[in-house]
Amino acid sequence: RSFTRSIISCVTVGMLSMSLSAQADTLTRQNGAPVGDNQNSQTAGPWGPVLLQDSHLIEKLAAFDRERIPERVVHARGVGVHGYYENYEDLSDDTVAAPFQGEGKKTEVFVRFSSVVHGHLSPETLRDPRGFAVKFYTEQGNWDLVGNNFPVFFIRDAIKFPDMVHAFKPSPVTNKQDAKRVFDFFSHVPESTHTLTMLFSDYGTPASYLNMDGSGVHAFKFVDDEGNVKYVKFTWKANQPIKNFTAEEAMKQQGMDFQPHTTDVYTRIGEKGETASWDLYLQELEPEQLDDFDFNPLDTTKIWPEKLVSSRKIGRLVLNRVPDNFFEETEQAAFAPSNLIPGIEPSEDRMLQGRLFSYADTQRYRLGVNAYRIPVNAPKNVEINNHEQHGQLRTTSTNRDVNYQPSRRLDLNEDPAYRYSSKPLAGMTQQIPFYKEQNFKQAGEFYRNLDKQGRKNLINNMGGALASVPEEEIRVIISAFMYNADKEYGTGVAKLAKVSISQVRAEAKALMDEQAGRAAKAKKVA
Ligand code: HEM
């Protein structure tokens, strides 16, 4: 009846009634038909069962049953924000990538910050790296720089990633995260020393997504219009002061509001209309320089120290608008390191190479084969022009009879200007670690750059977590990693982890000898 009333009022009484009736829109079914009763199911009389013919009821329950899509297998909890990237320096001599052409050029972006290990509704106060993923909507297609707040990662080869995530996530038996499982795994992974050190410092509990730095972590390639290549790294430096929680502050915060990062972004940018910005810094290496260092520049467990590879400011990121709807944009956002544009190519970094496959693959499962047609993921400044078609949830299709290529009937041709760069290769296929592992040095440098309180907090956080591991062998090995990074650091951790320092020293030496042994073997094969 209310549906009929609305129609009558619209047609007979004019504009004023139209806007009044718009306030009381009629509830409809999925097919648009009006709903007569949304409070009582159809039943067979006052005492009888509910009727199968109540299609509105069935449709409503069925839609509810399917509300959840799989959460991301990692980085499940996050916050999205819109904004733009403004380029400061014309980099057309180094790359043909659209965002870096000309001074002052602006490119629209969508950014998603996230925590890593825990689920979709987990507390944001837990110790974790943080994701810092940026989607650039360029006129050459979308470029995703899917980075983290830390400039390094725990492992250097994608083959270890599923095991690492299993160890970090709750046990399949108890559904509890367990330090015993985490440290058991990492006691076999000395290259994790650098990132574990960052994780257990106060940088592992940022106070706000807007008050932390970000990094692309991997080396990428810049390619110019003649196919010349430079290896590059990207770093986001916050213009807001860096703010971290101490372990005690994080615990206290969790008791008051366990989602402070979401609250913060929606309050500062959403309600108060503030903006947040980061400067983008670039480091560049010529291909001939890759073997010039005592570490491998294509190793994700390493930074390129600024004293060895200078960095310069090339632009800034400005975030200024929260999404209209969380599910449509933040939850359905699909960032992938394989979403690259002309002028930016992947380096040979073994982690990055695995990531090139993993993200688009998981998104086909999480969001479906048409994930990149969802508005937040679709290019905004260029059309998708190819013959991939159909599949679940495809809402747009071209009506071309020619859905193949090449064709004499339709001019949809590739452009050789956009061929990938080429690289000479020689050697045999192999499965060998890097010959420059250098697993501990940069962790020590990070430790020594912390202030006194920061070092103390790190030792307390790491030593405290390690102390809960029952196996002495694991506590000794992890303490030895830290000892190899810095003697004071390792000694402090060992003390709290209740292991003998002489055992730690012996293990530390054995680890260095093993590293040298692996290096010699790998060098021989190389
Ligand atoms: C999310 C895999 C390493 C940063 C994800 C997702 C997968 C994944 C499957 C979920 C994507 C989705 O459902 O949309 C991997 C693998 C890695 C790896 C296999 C190693 C081989 C890294 C590294 C970084 C990183 C080194 C940082 C540089 C992120 C971020 C997200 C993410 C920021 C969340 C993106 C978003 O906000 O939607 N990763 N990851 N991952 N990963 Fe990784």
How many residues in total does the chain contain?
A: 526
**Using CA positions, which residue lies closest to atom 39 of ligand 1?**
74
What are the residue ranges in the chain where pLDDT is below 50?
1-21
How remote is the CA of residue 344 from the centroid of ligand 1, in Å? 19
How remote is the CA of residue 263 from the centroid of ligand 1, in Å? 24
**Using CA positions, which residue lies closest to atom 11 of ligand 1?**
359
153 within ligand 1 shell (Cβ under 6 A): yes
Residue type, 231: Y
**Using CA positions, which residue lies closest to atom 25 of ligand 1?**
147
Q: Residue 205 and residue 212: Cα distance in Å, rounded?
A: 10
> Using omega within 30 degrees of 0 as the cis cutoff, is the peptide bond preceding 379 cis?
no
Q: Do 52 and 79 meet the contact criterion of CB atoms below 8 Å apart?
A: no
Would you say the C-alpha torsion 307, 311, 316, 322 has a positive or negative sign?
Answer: negative
Beta-bridge partners for 447: none
How remote is the CA of residue 159 from the centroid of ligand 1, in Å? 14
Which is the catalytic residue, given 82, 87, 118, 148? 148
Strand extents, DSSP E, 154-310:
214-215, 220-223, 229-238, 276-285
> Active site includes 148?
yes
Tokens 């320089």: give the residue: 289
**Using CA positions, which residue lies closest to atom 33 of ligand 1?**
131
Instruction: Name which of 350, 368, 502 is nearest 430 in CA terms.
Output: 350
For residue 264, give both structure tokens. Answer: 């913060």
Q: Residue 140 and residue 379: Cα distance in Å, rounded?
A: 9
Instruction: Output the CA torsion 393→396→399→401 (10° steps).
Output: -50
Q: Do 6 and 24 meet the contact criterion of CB atoms below 8 Å apart?
A: yes
- Between the two ends of the chain, the Cα-to-Cα distance in Å is 81
For residue 114, the ligand 1 atom closest to its alpha carbon is: 37
Helix (H) / strand (E) element for 503: namely: helix 501-525
**Using CA positions, which residue lies closest to atom 34 of ligand 1?**
75
Q: Residue 38 and residue 43: Cα distance in Å, rounded?
A: 13
355 within ligand 1 shell (Cβ under 6 A): yes
332 within ligand 1 shell (Cβ under 6 A): no
Task: Give residue 397's pLDDT.
Answer: 77
> Active site includes 75?
yes
**Using CA positions, which residue lies closest to atom 16 of ligand 1?**
355
State ipTM: 0.96
Q: Per residue in 371-398, pLDDT tens?
A: 999 999 999 999 999 989 999 999 887 7
Task: Give residue 7's pLDDT.
Answer: 40
Q: Per residue in 168-188, pLDDT tens?
A: 999 999 999 999 999 999 999
Pocket test for ligand 1, best of 69, 134, 146 (most atoms within 8 A of CB): 146
Which one-letter DSSP state was computed for residue 353?
A: H
Q: Residue 381 and residue 108: Cα distance in Å, rounded?
A: 9
359 within ligand 1 shell (Cβ under 6 A): yes
Instruction: Name which of 71, 41, 61 is nearest 53 in CA terms.
Output: 41
For residue 334, the ligand 1 atom closest to its alpha carbon is: 14
Instruction: Name which of 394, 341, 399 is nearest 371 in CA terms.
Output: 394
463 within ligand 1 shell (Cβ under 6 A): no
Residue type, 49: P
Which is the catalytic residue, given 75, 82, 194, 218? 75
Q: How many CB atoms lie within 10 A of CB 513?
A: 10
Task: Give residue 459's pLDDT.
Answer: 98
147 within ligand 1 shell (Cβ under 6 A): yes
> Per-residue DSSP letters for 9-34?
HHHHH-HHHHHHHHHTPPPB-TTSPB
